[in-house]
Amino acid sequence: MGVTPAHSMTDWEIGKRHDLPVVQVINEYAKMTAGNEAILGKKTTVAREEIVSWLKKNNLLENIEEIDQNISIAERSGGVIEPMPKLQWFVNVNKKFTLKISKIDGIKNNTEVTLKELMLTVVRNKQIKIAPERFEKTYFHWIENLHDWCISRQIWYGHQIPVWYKGDETYTGINAPEGEGWEQDPDTLDTWFSSGLWTFSTLGWPEETIDLKTFHPTFILETGYDILFFWIAKMILMSTCLLGDIPFKHVYLHGLVRDEKGRKMSKSLGNIIDPLDMIEKYGADAVRMSLVIGTSPGNDMKLSEQKIKAHKHFANKLWNITRFILSNTGDYTKEKPSNLLNNDLEWLNEFNQIVEKITNYLENYQLHLATDEIYQWTWHRLADVCIEESKPIINGNNEDAKKSREWLLMYILENVTKLIHPFMPFITEEICGVLPVQKEREFLMIESWPKQKYQ
């Protein structure tokens, strides 16, 4: 069996376990640095052919088989990536250090901890909750098996490694060392290292700013499940280490957006849906609603143009509901009539129940259920039943019944737009701008959430 610790991560692990020598035979230009004159200085692809020819010539080749291999390919050039040992900077995740100030449950000030312990503790003690909860197992699997983190990258952009060299001297610090002859390490920090600082570096840290005290930790972080380890875990590492505190209290993970057949969107398949094109065609609200409705947390979703178009129809339905109510109601006041007639009280109680259900869904991060509930109720109860039932009442001669129903319709319209606003903010803001109660508000986004005021 051939073992090449310098050119295979698997063989590197084998070599470490058995104290094998690490012999590098490929340089940074993918050329051979060892071997006879037939392959020395040649590209690896050419050298392989030369070696096979040599084996054939000396009757040493017993058999040739075609075997599929999982080869690393550079995403831009398409070239084969040849692994090789390089001098890199690492973060030691298992080294003990003293956490001077701790706001972490179960860890006191001046306790000796490791980065791995901090990352595990804040999720185990539920200071940070992950939704869906099943992804906690994924998180623990990553962190419990965490290796030292290589943070140096040989790329052109990013924060440059804060290390300087002069002869045999090495200097590490925020500012460049004084004196002549120092040369900064050309490597850059891992992108996830830099972005892991996001929750507090944007708030003025390391200064004790008002923003830092007010907004850190934040309440919820929403992102895709595919970067649970790459970004979320790194933010937890940075915040717990440097601030002794969690970066956020809740993590909401969404799935990936796929095409209507469940395939990953790619240029080669030609199945990409450009959100800007869809916004231009159907509006931002329709795009937003189609991405949320029917999409449970942590699960991939299928998206098609037809689904977006369907929610354009829902936006039209909202306009039609608004136009009918505004054109068939008189002066509206928030004061409920002393006596609701017909079955208006039943409708009011039903709407209150919808408010309660949607509120519970949102508080438990079940956005897909909240959107489906408000969609179904608005279209099939408010539009199809309540408004149709209202037409003879509004056109009738019973003034008390008309006032009762007009108040009900306007009250529901005012508050149903609030329920829909998180998902379709543009049309709901526009609708609220033409309501009679607009004089009492500035911006729908900062309005109070509907409550069960009337029974």
Query: Which pair of tokens denotes residue 121?
Result: 């503790």
Task: Kindly report, residue by residue over 421-454, the tens digit of the pLDDT.
Answer: 999 999 999 998 888 866 666 788 888 899 866 5
How confident is the model at residue 439, as a pLDDT?
63
Query: Which pair of tokens denotes residue 425?
Result: 């903010």
| Nearest CA among 290, 296, 295 for reference residue 308 | 290
Cα dist. 43→4, 29, 78, 329, 432 in Å? 17, 8, 16, 81, 68
List of residues 6+ apart from 58 with CB closer than 8 A: none
| Nearest CA among 114, 184, 185, 104 for reference residue 149 | 114
How confident is the model at residue 124, as a pLDDT?
97
How confident is the model at residue 102, as a pLDDT?
96
Q: Cα-flanking dihedrals φ and ψ of residue 268, to 5°?
A: -65, -35
**455 pLDDT more than 60:** no
**77 pLDDT more than 70:** yes
Look-up of token digits 């829902």: 314
How confident is the model at residue 443, as a pLDDT?
83
How confident is the model at residue 331, as a pLDDT?
66
Position 191: which residue type? Answer: T
Distance CA 99, CA 241 (A): 7
Q: Cα-flanking dihedrals φ and ψ of residue 179, to 5°?
A: 100, 170
Q: What element of type H or E holds 87?
A: none
**330 pLDDT more than 80:** no
> Helix, strand, coil shares of the chain as percentages rounded to 5?
45, 10, 45
Distance CA 247, CA 383 (A): 44
Residue 1 pLDDT grade (very low, low, confident, very high; cuts 50, 70, 90): low
Rg of the chain over all Cα atoms, to the nearest angstrom: 31
Q: Mean pLDDT over residues 236-265, rounded?
A: 93
How confident is the model at residue 131, as a pLDDT?
92
**232 pLDDT more than 80:** yes
* Bridge partners of residue 54, in order along the sequence: none
Pairing of strands 163-166, 152-153: unpaired
In terms of residues, how long is the chain?
A: 455
**136 pLDDT more than 70:** yes
How confident is the model at residue 452, as a pLDDT?
64
378 touches 416 (CB < 8 A): yes
Task: Kindly report, residue by residue over 396-423, the tens digit of the pLDDT.
Answer: 898 888 889 999 999 999 999 999 999 9
117 Ramachandran zone, left/alpha/beta (phi>0; psi -120 to 50): alpha
SS3 289: helix
**190 pLDDT more than 90:** yes
Higher pLDDT, 156 or 370: 370
Distance CA 310, CA 329 (A): 29
Q: What structural domains does the chain harbor?
A: 1-86 (no CATH), 97-151+190-254 (no CATH), 286-291+306-446 (1.10.730.10)
Distance CA 390, CA 405 (A): 7
Task: Kindly report, residue by residue over 67-76, the tens digit of the pLDDT.
Answer: 888 888 887 7
Q: Mean pLDDT over residues 93-116, rounded?
A: 96
Q: Mean pLDDT over residues 216-242, rounded?
A: 95
To the nearest whole number, what is the mean pLDDT of the chain? 91
Distance CA 93, CA 151 (A): 12
**196 pLDDT more than 90:** yes
Helix 305-327 and helix 425-432: axis angle, to 10°? 10
405 touches 342 (CB < 8 A): yes
Q: What element of type H or E holds 90?
A: strand 90-91
Residue 388 pLDDT grade (very low, low, confident, very high; cuts 50, 70, 90): very high
How confident is the model at residue 120, as a pLDDT?
98
Look-up of token digits 């503790």: 121
SS3 226: helix
Q: Where are the alpha helices (DSSP H) in 7-114?
A: 9-18, 44-57
pTM for this one? Answer: 0.81
Percent of residues, the chain, with pLDDT higher than 90: 72
How confident is the model at residue 333, as a pLDDT?
65
454 touches 352 (CB < 8 A): yes
100 touches 109 (CB < 8 A): yes
Task: Kindly report, residue by residue over 15-46, the tens digit of the pLDDT.
Answer: 999 999 999 999 988 899 988 888 999 999 89
How confident is the model at residue 173, as a pLDDT?
92
